[in-house]
Structure 1
Amino acid sequence: MPYDSAATRARLLDAAYQEFSRWGLAGARVERIAAAASANKQAIYAYFGSKDSLFDAVLADRISVLADTVPYTPEDLPGYAGALFDALNAAPDLLRLTRWRGLERDDVAPGEVESHLEKAVALRAALGLPDDRTAIDVLEIVVAISSAWTTVPAGLRAVGGEDPAERQAAHRAMVVAAVTAICQSVTRFPVNSA
């Protein structure tokens, strides 16, 4: 069977995603990643250069998958928030991975600022916001609201003893309603961030 470098790289990314989301950057072991990918440890360094670079590649890959799954729709921010809520709840490992990154590193990934600014500029135009700062604030709040279900303690989600699926559906509806209210508020009463 011929060697397939693309397949090896993909297996390494998948194995690293599982390892990093479970253990973080500091706790992850390249030996476990290589074993899970049916590759050798040297392949990690050949493809990615370092464990840190592999972590960055995994995060970039998974954010790209999320962006493909949930296209950014600034003209329908409540719909975007609901779709983001669904996608993040379907991929809890991605949220863990991003939390690990925030805990372990304070640098900014290449292209990250530009990507967020592009989204803010599009949101500013879609909602008629007064400036980019307001658009960035709205975007930050939408992302936080959309990911809150998976970040609050399980005991808080269980208050009331409702069926977990019904409780999650009700929370999703609240996310969409909250983002709708935010959009109405900022377009009706624009905030000057100066």
Structure 2
Amino acid sequence: MSTRDPETKRQRLLVAALAEFAAYGLAGARVDRLAKRAGISSGLVYSFYENKEGLFEAVFDLIVKQVVAGVPMDADDPGEYAGRLYDGGLAHPEVMRFVAWYELERGDSAGRRVSTSAAMKQKLDAVADAQRRGVLTDRFTAGQLLALVLNLANMWQMQGADFLDLVPEQSRRATIVDAVRRLVAPTG
């Protein structure tokens, strides 16, 4: 059943665009194909976004918003935070594929977006506060610690079978949580 609700159509478009961009990147994505996935006309895509690049940026901003809202930083237990990020990656592998395409196609310009800068600042401030309270180690700067946690959380994303075979799937989350907890534990 078709709906005249523009917000619903815009949301369907963003979901379809995520799938299309995750599969083909910006250069390989086709507006007619993603419009078909969304169940809307190609022309309607351009009523929401000026061009394919604008839609690509909107999908990136949506991902940042959903990850920040859906997996809030818990600086008092970064191990469990990393575990929840890992869970999200398992549930939505297209997100990491999209982010990889984004980094490849946007290069250096990808690094300084308002959406990511705000999200990173919030997380960085939480880590620094936990360090001041003695909850997290001060062996690393807040930035180093956050980078390590984020990378450990995503270490099994987009890897080949040889790497994945090193640790059974049922042990991967626990490995991440334990490794992060040990890494961030205060010394002394």
TM-score, length basis structure 2: 0.86
* Higher RCO structure (Cα 8 Å, ≥6 apart): 2
Matched AA of 1:94: V
Determine the C-alpha separation between the residues in 1 that align with 2:123 and 2:164.
31
Aligned to 1:38: 39
Aligned to 2:150: 143
2:123 to 119, 130, 145: 119
Contact 1:15 1:37 in 2 (8 A): yes
2:114 to 90, 110, 114: 110
Aligned to 2:28: 27
- Name structure 1 gaps, 5 residues minimum: 161-166, 190-194
Structure 1 residue matching 2:9: 3-state secondary structure: helix
- Name structure 2 gaps, 5 residues minimum: none
1:56-82 Cα offsets, whole Å, 9 max, x none, are 111222232223332211111111011
Determine the C-alpha separation between the residues in 1 that align with 2:183 and 2:187.
10
Give, in angstroms, the shift of residue 130 of structure 1: 9.2
Contact 2:21 2:29 in 1 (8 A): yes
Matched AA of 2:92: A
1:135-164 Cα offsets, whole Å, 9 max, x none, are 11111111111111123211221258xxxx
Determine the C-alpha separation between the residues in 2 that align with 1:30 and 1:37.
10
Q: Calculate the aligned-residue CA RMSD, in Å.
A: 2.2
Give, in angstroms, the shift of residue 2 of structure 1: 6.1
Matched AA of 1:171: R
Which region of structure 1 is more displaced relative to structure 2, 104-113 or 79-88?
104-113
Which region of structure 1 is more displaced relative to structure 2, 64-73 or 141-150?
64-73
Determine the C-alpha separation between the residues in 1 that align with 2:7 and 2:128.
40
Contact 2:68 2:119 in 1 (8 A): no
Aligned to 2:85: 84
Aligned to 1:3: 4
Aligned to 1:192: none
Task: Flag as ranges the 4+ runs of structure 1 deviating above 4 A.
Answer: none
Residues 151 and 24 (structure 1), Cα distance of their counterparts in 2 relative to 1, 3 Å cut? same
Matched AA of 2:80: G
Residues 155 and 130 (structure 1), Cα distance of their counterparts in 2 relative to 1, 3 Å cut? closer
Contact 2:71 2:85 in 1 (8 A): yes
Contact 1:117 1:136 in 2 (8 A): no
Matched AA of 2:183: I
Q: Write out aligned runs for 1:164-175 (5 A).
A: 167-175=168-176
1:27-54 Cα offsets, whole Å, 9 max, x none, are 1011111122222222222212111110
Structure 2 residue matching 1:113: 3-state secondary structure: helix
